[in-house]
Amino acid sequence: MNTKKWKSIGTVLGETNISEFYFSLKNYKAKKGDIITTESKIPSSEGNVVPVTVWGKISSIESSNAFFPTEAAQELTNENIDIRDTILPTTRDELICKVIILGFTLKDNLKLMPLNYPVRPAATVSYPSSEDVEALLISDLDSEHPLFIGSLLARDAVKIKIDADNLVSRHVSIFGMSGSGKTVMVRRIMDELLQKKYPMVVLDIHGDYLGFIQKQKKLYPNNQVKLFYPNLSVSSDDKEIIYTLIDKLGNSLTDPQKDFLSSLLEKVKYEGGSLLKYIELLVRKAREYASDSSKSFKNIRPASMYVVVRSLGQVAKKLKNMEQTNFRHRQKMSKLKFEELPDAATEPEKIVNKGQLSILYLKGYENLPASAIVSILLENLFKHRQEVEEEIPPFLTIIEEAHNFIPSRSEDKDNLPSVDTIRKVITEGRKFGTGVMIISQRPSRLDETIASQCNSQIVFRMVNQKDQRATTRDSETLSVDDSKQLPNLANGQGIISGQVVNFSLPVQIKFDAELINDDIGNENFITAVENWDDKESVKQRKKFAKDFSNITSIDKRRAN
């Protein structure tokens, strides 16, 4: 590290302390988020004075031309005078930067240590070379498994890496408004973890991750990428989930009707398998009980039983609908091979396996069933990690649109079965290697305890104040200055903080264009309309519409 080569960019101002200082910046020499240094001296533990390099990050910049009187603008406008012709000052923008001190390094050792003595007022502030900044970040990260994610926002040349070990064991939250770059970021991390053969399970609602399937052969020849569609397969252990599903999806039931449903679930044994089949079985059995009139159910009137039968029918119909919607979506992507989600209880290795990425495609499913599916899946996988035999390796679960699975209590969606499951997986993830990545555009709508368990955060553009507040509330490392920056970030620019890095850093995430799912470039509605051709049925309907409307209008004529 040759500190002599660094350019001087400003001067430390006024009072300083050990955590921050201000400096006056030369025009255009640095930006917000830049890493800067100043040479200082500290007392060492041996009692002598040692020269150190203090590192800091520009957390805000204020510019003012204190010398330009507002009155002058009036005259310039009135007389149409070019300010550059006059004696008015034009180049004296006073730039004052606030710097958060990151720590100090000693000569020839890039280990960043906490500063315990203030920097010197009037000292020169320097702009370290990109190589040196990168070297510092890497050495400070001290990671056995660094993952490359992008570059320092203010400096392209400084590559940013994050620590994989903390990422997979300590949970990460990724927040930002729609289109801000969350999914692009997740795909970047997944790409890196695939290289490391780390198993992942992705809950994909929109098909954002199907690109991995398409590009598997080309980009990930040594990995397996599996694409699953949900199968609500249940066992008798899942009674509670089944009850909740029926209760929520069906008609609302009175207390006696609910009693009947519970008893029914007790009586009708099921060895496991498709939930839909089980419900159909329940419908048959319930009808039997209702017709042979209360031999087994003394206190329940047959009328109540029929209500439950109808409700169960309703549930079955809804489930069938969702399955079919999902099926139709899958059909549109005929080139992709979808497999039915294996039973996580009995064949977990088909879902979590070294080098394998498993994508669970949930499009078409309503909140509650999707939550049930996820809950059952994760519950089983977690169990396998807990057991002594460890049938599956550690893995990372990636939850897109997380507010659907772990809504905050105030969202009034209690009883989503996935909330408890995910909470458990997260709290004990460190022990069992079940890391979770939570992605959401509405952090304010997430379960607070789960969100606060994420000790690393990546935040993208965010305008909504409530969401900003929730984000800083859940984070120990995101500063107020950082959060002020959130509304102004562009696509793919995020602030990364927490245990995957050592101090918060604004990052431009690398965009992997080849990981985009090219089958559903479906935001191009204009082209879709341009190429629109009515389906046969619609054409027919339009053809006859005129005739029918004639009939109606003639019919309505008043008889004279």
Partner 1 sequence: MRNEIDIKNKIKANSSLFTNFVKNAVNASPKVQNNFLDVSAQVALTVQKILEDADLITNLEYKGKDFWSENKCKTACFIDGGVDKTSIISSAPLSIRTGSYIVKPDAADKNREFFEESMVFLGDLYDPKNELYDFAEDDFDEDQMLNKKKDGARIIFEAVTIVKHILLNRKFDYCFLHGPIEATVMPFTVMGFPTFTKFAVENMLPFYNKNKLNAEARHFINVYLEALNSIKKSKFPTYGIVETSNSAPYIKNLLYSYKSKGTISEKDFKNTLSTIKKYKITDSHLLEIILQSGQAIKPLEVKKQIKGFSVTSGSAWEDKMDSFPSVHIGYIKVNDHSAPIRIESLNQSKNLIKDYEYILATARLLPNYGFPVGLNVVDKFAKIPNWMSKASRKYYATHLLKQAIRSKDQNTISLAVKILSKKVRSWRNRPLGGLAR
Ligand X SMILES: Nc1ncnc2c1ncn2[C@@H]1O[C@H](COP(=O)(O)OP(=O)(O)OP(=O)(O)O)[C@@H](O)[C@H]1O
- List interacting residues with ligand X (CB under 6 A): 176, 178-184, 441, 491-492, 509, 511
Residue 166: CB atoms within 10 A of its CB come to 20
**Angstrom distance (rounded) from CA 153 to CA 195:** 25
**Distance of alpha carbon 404 from alpha carbon 407, whole angstroms:** 6
C-alpha 393/C-alpha 391 separation (Å) is 7
The CA-CA-CA angle for residues 35, 437, 506, to 5°, reads: 15
Closest by CA position to 170, among listed 505, 501, 509, 506: 501
DSSP 55-70: EEEEEEEEEE-TTS-H
Looking at beta carbons only, is 122 or 463 nearer to partner 1? 122
CA neighbours within 13 Å on the CB side: how many for 9?
24
Vertex 260, ends 256 and 264: CA angle to 5°?
170
184 binds, among partner 1, Mg ion, ligand X, none (CB under 5 to 8 A by kind): ligand X
CB of residue 490 to ligand X, shortest distance in Å: 8
Of 153 and 193, nearer to ligand X (C-beta) is 153
Chosen from ligand X, partner 1, Mg ion, none, partner binding at 491 (C-beta under 5 to 8 Å by type): ligand X
d(CA 12, CA 415): 56
Residue 91 beta carbon to partner 1: minimum distance, rounded to whole angstroms: 5
From the list ligand X, Mg ion, partner 1, none, which binds 441 (C-beta under 5 to 8 Å, kind-based)?
A: ligand X
Closest distance between Mg ion and the C-beta of residue 360, in Å? Answer: 16
Taking the least distance from each CB to Mg ion, the nearer of 513 and 551 is 513
How far apart CA 10 and CA 169 sit, in angstroms, is 41
* Cβ partners under 8 Å of residue 50, min gap 6: 41, 42, 43, 44, 106
Which residue, 176 or 207, is less far from ligand X as judged by CB? 176
Q: How far is the CB of 74 from partner 1 (least distance, A)?
A: 6
Residue number with the shortest CB distance to Mg ion? 183
Closest to partner 1 by CB, 123 or 136: 123
| Residue 121 partner contact from ligand X, Mg ion, partner 1, none using kind-dependent CB cut-offs of 5 to 8 Å | partner 1
In the complex with partner 1, the residue whose CB is nearer, 75 or 514, is: 75
Closer to partner 1 by CB, 69 or 179: give it: 69
Q: Which residues pair with 506 in a beta bridge?
A: 495
User: What does 296 interact with, of partner 1, ligand X, Mg ion, none (CB < 5 to 8 A by kind)?
Assistant: none
Which of partner 1, Mg ion, ligand X, none has residue 533 at its interface (CB below 5 to 8 Å by kind)? Answer: none
CB of 445 to ligand X, least distance (A): 13
CA 392 to chain centre: 25
Question: Residue 496: is it exposed, middle or buried by C-beta count within 10 angstroms (0-12/13-18/19+)?
Answer: buried
Kindly tell me which of 84 and 298 has the beta carbon lying closer to partner 1: 84
Written as one string, the DSSP assignment of 487-550 is GG--TTEEEEEETTSSS-EEEEEPP-GGGS-STT-TT-HHHHHHT----HHHHHHHHHHHHHHH
In the complex with partner 1, the residue whose CB is nearer, 24 or 236, is 24
Angle at 528 between CA 522 and CA 533, to 5 degrees: 135
Which residues of the shown chain bind partner 1 in the complex (CB under 8 A)?
13-15, 22, 24, 62, 64, 66-69, 71-72, 74-76, 78-82, 84-92, 94, 96, 121
Q: Point out which span in 146-154, 176-184, 283-291, 371-379 binds Mg ion (CB under 5 A).
A: 176-184
Residue 176 touches which member of partner 1, ligand X, Mg ion, none, C-beta under 5-8 Å by kind: ligand X
CA dihedral 364, 368, 369, 371 (to 10 degrees): 100
Residues 6+ apart with CB under 8 A from 69: none
The half-sphere exposure of 370 on its side-chain side, counting CA atoms within 13 A, is 21
**Between 385 and 403, CB nearer to Mg ion:** 403
Tokens of 360: 């669970």
Q: How far is the CB of 32 from partner 1 (least distance, A)?
A: 16
**249-273 CB burial, b ≥16 within 10 A, e <16:** bbeebeebbbbbbeebbeeeebeee
State the nearest-atom distance from the C-beta of 211 to partner 1, in Å. 48
Least separation in angstroms between CB 441 and ligand X: 4
Q: How far is the CB of 186 from ligand X (least distance, A)?
A: 8
Near Mg ion in 177-206, by CB under 5 A: 182-183
Angle of helix 302-332 versus helix 275-291 axis, rounded to 10: 160
Partner that binds at residue 72, options ligand X, Mg ion, partner 1, none, CB closer than 5 to 8 Å by kind:
partner 1
Task: Report what 181 binds from partner 1, ligand X, Mg ion, none; CB cut-off 5-8 Å by kind.
Answer: ligand X
Q: Which is nearer to ligand X, 435 or 494 (CB)?
A: 494
Please choose which of partner 1, Mg ion, ligand X, none residue 509 contacts, taking the beta carbon within 5 to 8 angstroms, the exact cut-off set by kind.
ligand X
Residue 179 Cβ, how far from ligand X at the closest point, in Å? 4
Binding residues for Mg ion, rule: CB under 5 A, are: 182-183
